[in-house]
Chain A
Amino acid sequence: MALSRLKCITHAMKNLSLLSHPDLRAPVCMNQVRAMSRVKRRHTVPPFWLPKTTRAMYPEHMTPENEIFLKDVIEEKYSSPLKADCWERGTWVKNSMRCGLIGRKIGIYPMWTKDGTRLLTTLLQVSDNQVIKYIKPEDMVQDKRKRYRELGALVVGADPIDPRIITKEYYSVFSEAGVMPKKKMSKFLITPNAKLAPGTPLYASHFQPGHYVDIAGITIDRGFQGVMKRWGFKGMPASHGVTKSHRRGGNIGSGGDKARVLLGTKMPGNMGRERRILRGLKVWRVNTQHNVIWVHGPAVPGGVGSYVYIYDSILPDHRHTQENHPPFPTFFQDEEEIEEELYDKELHTFREPSVQFAEK
């Protein structure tokens, strides 16, 4: 089982995906797997096929008039009054997968349900998401299994970046779509009926209150940590004769036949800065004007300001059905009316009256 997981990981890395599919990565509960220690969990250097984002800056001695002109050119180029290319829009069928969003964790806030239960929610801002590219199933480097053979992908970008400070190679990624270059990109596996034309804007209304999401992110980098923080060891007493071993790991092997330290033995080391997926988080609230999503819990991986990748949940309890599926392939906010604030029906909103007295 461990080896098959290893194969999945290496295949995903060969998959030329910026981030691999949720199904192929960490499961819901973490079991210690001895073979995982051979797989690099963190990379200090991006993969060789990824183009460098920013270029080396040099003084250009441009006149102020030329600077203003270029700014106007950029504005004009990326603000077309025309509607984005309209491809045929698919309809939801069972087992459809639609794309996710790239958000930024902006904070944690408490919310209250109608029966007074307090809960913490994480605010995620979906800033300037646009579809960059659609990759057909035939063009994907495929997993041989039938389910994955049928999947295409959408590359989604977030947060614009000045086209003058990026490399030409990175810029060429966006020139086909005619989209402003983006800081962050991610690939989302989709069924072909969920495809969207390059340039389509994606908003927070893609997810609606009451639905469940999986969130992937890079956990906070805690640096080199000891076994107590890293693995939750109990340590040893502070006194009663304990010599120099208050926070140490203690025994590391059993000896005998297995006369070695087993692979995967918990020891101090770098903690955090790893990709983790949190499954089944409920969306409590969505603000469509500022594109903010309130998701359940304070434990979204990453610190405040870090990027997260939001997917529709794959948990069997939260499977979509014909009656309760989210807007498919996305919610076209430019075309349809929507309220500014969307609340889950169980949520208490402070703007509404909570206690009403009946007239006698």
Chain B
Amino acid sequence: MLTSRVAAALPRLLPCTRPYHKQALTNTIVKKKRSQLFTQEAQRQAALITDVEKIEVQYDGQPKNCTLIMNKGMSTPYNCAQHINQMIMERSVLAEVDGQVWDMHRPLEDSCTLRFLHFRQSDPYYANKAFWRSASVMLGALLESSFKDNLYVELCSYPSPNVRSGSFVYDVDIKIPEWEPTKEELRTLSGEMVKLSLAAHRFERLEVDASVALKMFADNRFKTQQIPQMAAQSTSGNTVVVYRIGDFVEVSRGPMMADTSHLGKVSIVAVHPIESNEVQLFRVQGVALPRGFLLNHFAYGVLEKRAQQMNSGRLPLNISSTKPQTQASTL
């Protein structure tokens, strides 16, 4: 046991010595914690694969059908595309593995048939849905990092993607009673979305146990309620899927697009207040086009105008009015 004088003489090794649970609750700290947990879990899961087994992936499509020998549990459809063609690699939004829609950066489990989905095919239904879903998640990433530190923003959820509704949304709890953003504020948010897109973050996918997910999202009272429900609906019964873009982690079910650079023109157009079980939430709405889709300002204005209308997607229900936390939860 060091005497206090000796302890004082020793150089301080870390800038912040307070343990996590004693720090004030801010989005920055929470995001960092989640990202760290994600990295740890990803490393743990990667370490589980000791032997590299080979699988045969049958590719059907342009430029020609081929069979690829890939690594089981490690190779992703993106890796397959890298072997095939640069154009396929850049334009593919989703993969179709044995008829099932698959993330581009999700490891392949077994020998399978592989196809790639993109926005310009004749029926890009799944690609569009993934795009809309990913846009919602990116909006969530944006909302978590855009507010001042004294406001602890809790992301609630987003409804199932419906492109025909005219906008992608995210419901968020900002803990202020009213928020009517000015045109400049909306423009700033749109700019941040564009920055996210330019950063070209990958949608890193991880299937984790519900307990790990709960640890990650312990500071979000909405997610702590949603995760058990999502885990119950999963095939295994107790796992949920988490995605990470940059340093933002989100729990979600469906497939996401390959990376954020697939987002082209984007505008955050409206914020509608919604009441849900005594909780004041805000539904932030936006509209976007995939990268490479050119559209004149008038037609895009028509889309923006449509997106401003209150989105008809399902409102978050059954949110108990637990008191919002003021201190970060224990690890």
Contact = CB atoms under 8 A, between A and B. Distances in A.
Interface of A: 55, 58-60, 62, 66, 70, 73-74, 163-165, 167-168, 171
Listed residue (B294, B296, B299) with the most chain A CB atoms within 10 angstroms of its CB: B296
B296 A55 contact: yes
B1 to A, nearest CB: 71
Interface residues of B, number: 7
Nearest to B305: A73
Main secondary structure of the interface of B (DSSP, over half): helix
Nearest to B120: A61
A60 B302 contact: no
Contacts of A74: 298
B22 interface: no
7 contacts: A55-B296, A55-B297, A60-B299, A164-B296, A164-B298, A165-B296, A168-B297
A60 B294 contact: yes
A164 B297 CA distance: 7
Contacts of B297: 55, 167-168, 171
Contact of B298 (A58, A59, A66, A163): A163
Contact of B294 (A58, A167, A168, A171): A58
Contacts of B298: 70, 74, 163-164, 171
B294 A70 contact: no
A160 to B, nearest CB: 13
A70 B302 CA distance: 9
B61 to A, nearest CB: 21
Nearest to A69: B302
B13 interface: no
B295 interface: yes
Interface string B110-139: 000000000000000000000000000000
Contacts of B294: 58-60
Interface centre among B297, B298, B299, B302 (most CB of A within 10 A): B298
Closest CB pairs A-B (n = 8): A168-B297, A163-B298, A164-B296, A164-B298, A58-B294, A60-B294, A70-B299, A73-B302
B180 to A, nearest CB: 21
Nearest to B299: A70
Interface string B279-317: 000000000000000111111001000000000000000
Contacts of A66: 299
A167 B296 CA distance: 9
Interface in B197-253: none
Nearest to B294: A58
B164 to A, nearest CB: 14
Contacts of B299: 60, 62, 66, 70, 164
Given A60-B299, A163-B298, 5 more contacts: A55-B296, A70-B298, A164-B296, A164-B299, A167-B297
Interface string B182-205: 000000000000000000000000
A53 to B, nearest CB: 14
A60 B302 CA distance: 15
Nearest to A163: B298
Nearest to A70: B299
Nearest to A73: B302
Nearest to B297: A168
A62 B302 CA distance: 14
Nearest to A181: B298
Contacts of B295: 60
Contacts of B302: 70, 73
A74 B299 CA distance: 10
Contacts of A167: 297
A163 B295 CA distance: 13
Most buried by A among B294, B295, B299: B299
Contacts of A165: 296
A194 to B, nearest CB: 33
A168 B265 CA distance: 15
A253 B284 CA distance: 78
Nearest to A169: B297
Contacts of A163: 298
Nearest to B296: A164
Nearest to A57: B296
B128 to A, nearest CB: 14
A168 B294 CA distance: 15
Contacts of A70: 298-299, 302
A171 B299 CA distance: 12
A60 to B, nearest CB: 6
A65 B299 CA distance: 13
Contacts of A59: 294
A342 B105 CA distance: 77
A66 B295 CA distance: 12
A167 B299 CA distance: 12
Nearest to A175: B301
Nearest to A162: B298
A165 B297 CA distance: 9
A74 to B, nearest CB: 8
A170 to B, nearest CB: 10
A178 to B, nearest CB: 14
A125 B15 CA distance: 79
Nearest to A55: B296
A55 B299 CA distance: 14
A20 B63 CA distance: 64
A163 B294 CA distance: 16
A165 B298 CA distance: 9
A168 B297 CA distance: 6
A170 B260 CA distance: 32
For A59, A163, A167, which residue has the most chain B Cβ atoms within 10 angstroms?
A163
A245 B121 CA distance: 74
A66 B298 CA distance: 13
A171 B295 CA distance: 15
A183 to B, nearest CB: 16
A70 B297 CA distance: 12
Contacts of A60: 294-296, 299
A182 to B, nearest CB: 15
B300 to A, nearest CB: 9
